Amino acid sequence: MLDNFKDKAEFWDNPDKIKMTEKFSKQLTNSIFLYKKDNLAEVGAGTGLVGLSLVDMVNKVYMVDNSPSMLRVLKQKLDSTNKDKVEIFEGEFENAEINNLDGVICFMSLHHIEDTNNFIREVKNKTKKDGFLAIGDLIEEDGSFHSGKLVPHLGFNLEKISNLLEDEGFIILKETVYDNIYKNEKNYPIFLIIAQR
């Protein structure tokens, strides 16, 4: 499989990315209760900026990503304080043998997942009753965010993604546009949706 982040991984954790991730994590933790017994999965975990910020609040975080380069950076961050609470899966979420999750987090990754319907179904299959899915991603944009590079989705229409979740039996707990990414001399709004099974 092509590693699309091979040349970016080493420099991924820059101040802008860290600040953006902190804002998402704060939105998430202000919106739902996380418990010490919880097992979470982060899909598109990358270098672990989101998952590692939550690891002390829960039992375990399964970090799933298909970029070996990003996961290599993540592994370098693991130490005696967090390594027992993190499990890493290289590959696609649907192929990861993880079940009975209390929640799934997908931050700035859903637009890289071609079949969003299948992804939502997989989340439903792998989470407990009352488990949650938290998605942070781009509002629909004109393609300029990735500077013309092809990605499966140019952001998302909030109503459509909410409808997809509801069609699979999820209840929308929160839906908000909470931040912007300034890039290429433009502002790109970011949304958060939290849905419960």
Q: Which pLDDT tens digit goes with each residue over 23-64? A: 999 999 999 999 999 999 999 999 999 999 999 999 999 999
42-56, 71-85, 162-176, 181-195: which range is least confident on average? Answer: 71-85
Beta strand 127-138 with 101-107 is parallel
Confidence of residue 177 (pLDDT cuts 50, 70, 90): very high
pLDDT for res 192? 97
* 51 closest CA partner among 5, 70, 154: 70
Domains parsed from the chain with CATH numbers: 9-196 (3.40.50.150)
pLDDT for res 79? 87
Q: Which pLDDT tens digit goes with each residue over 129-157? A: 999 999 999 999 998 888 877 888 999 99
Residue 6 near residue 67, CB atoms below 8 Å: yes
* pLDDT exceeds 80 at position 13: no
Q: What is the DSSP letter of 156?
A: B
* pLDDT exceeds 70 at position 5: no
pLDDT for res 69? 87
Contact partners, residue 94, CB within 8 Å, separation at least 6: 118, 119, 122
**Can you point out the beta strands (E) in the chain?**
39-43, 60-65, 86-90, 101-107, 127-138, 171-183, 186-196
- CA torsion sign for 69, 64, 135, 151 is positive
Q: Which pLDDT tens digit goes with each residue over 80-116? A: 778 899 999 999 999 999 999 999 999 999 999 999 9
Residue 127 near residue 104, CB atoms below 8 Å: yes
Specify the higher pLDDT residue, 26 or 5: 26
pLDDT for res 123? 97
3-state class percentages of the chain: helix first, strand second, coil last, to nearest 5: 35, 30, 35
Tokens of 191: 């949304």
Confidence of residue 4 (pLDDT cuts 50, 70, 90): low
pLDDT for res 6? 60
Position 74, amino acid: L
